Amino acid sequence: MDSLNILLITAAGTGFVHAIIGPDHYLPFIFIAKARKWSLKKTLFITFYCGLGHLASSVIISFAGIALGYGISQIESFDLLRGSLAAWVFLLFGLSYMVWGARQAAKNKAHTHEKRHQDDDHMHEKSKLTPWVLFIIFVFGPCEILIPQVMIPAAHHNTGGVIAVITLFSIATILTMCAAVAMGYYGFKILPTAKIERYMHVIAGAILFLSGLVMIFF
């Protein structure tokens, strides 16, 4: 029981730490919410489900590895592979979003009413697509630190311990993500951003691009 209690405290602690030191867990939501003019409720809703997908995929992979008799190193190797894929998708999506945002900023000055209306329709379609792209990226994003913590009680056939570790790690991760996003969201309201409003899509794309670079190289 002492070992399990230590593991549970570790699960909660690492859930918080891995989310707060990974800017890709919250900066994309903050900047895209600002660029898209999302409400806080919508932003937190999207953050929550992206976090849930991020965690669920690692849990499923852990269980599949256990069922197939794979070791921690084998499962982590697969997790790192899909993590590389997620990082490149982050980077490429950020680059395309940044280029699109730059084109939108350049067009804003010389639009007719009809042309502006067409661009608004295009922006609305892209706005509907963006949360799904983020969700897919986070589903592919690895959560390597969770895997060994799940496999320790699993190796001892402690189902309750496995559920407790997953639950505490997940709560700590998602709460940290949502808290960081909420603070960033309100922080933008305090800052004087009127002069850069036109370039928010460019900035949001740059943040996604940099998040991909961080995931690839660090």
Q: Of the candidates 1, 8, 6, 19, which has an alpha carbon nearest to the alpha carbon of residue 173?
A: 19
Indicate whether 122 pLDDT > 70: no
> CA 136, CA 47: separation in Å to the nearest integer?
12
Tell me the CB-side half-sphere exposure of residue 143, using CA atoms within 13 A: 33
Taking the C-alpha atoms of residue 117 and residue 123, their distance in angstroms, rounded to an integer, is 10
Query: Look-up: residue for tokens 């990226």?
Result: 137
* pLDDT for position 43: 95
| Alpha carbon distance 74, 94 (integer Å) | 30
- Please check the confidence at residue 1 and state whether its pLDDT lies above 80: no
DSSP letters for 125-164: HHHHHHHHHHHHHHHHS--TTHHHHHHHHHHTT-HHHHHH
Q: What is the pLDDT of residues 140-178, one digit of tens each?
A: 887 878 888 888 888 787 888 889 999 999 999 999 999
First-residue to last-residue Cα distance in the chain: 36
pTM of the model: 0.84
Q: Which two tokens stand for residue 145?
A: 């630190």
Quote the mean pLDDT of the chain: 84
Distance CA 28, CA 184 (A): 11
Which of 82, 62, 85 has the alpha carbon at shortest distance from 72?
62
pLDDT digits (tens, 9 = 90+) for 78-120: 877 888 888 888 899 999 999 988 888 887 655 544 445 555 5
Q: Where are the domains of the chain?
A: 2-217
Predicted local distance difference test score (pLDDT) of residue 125 = 55
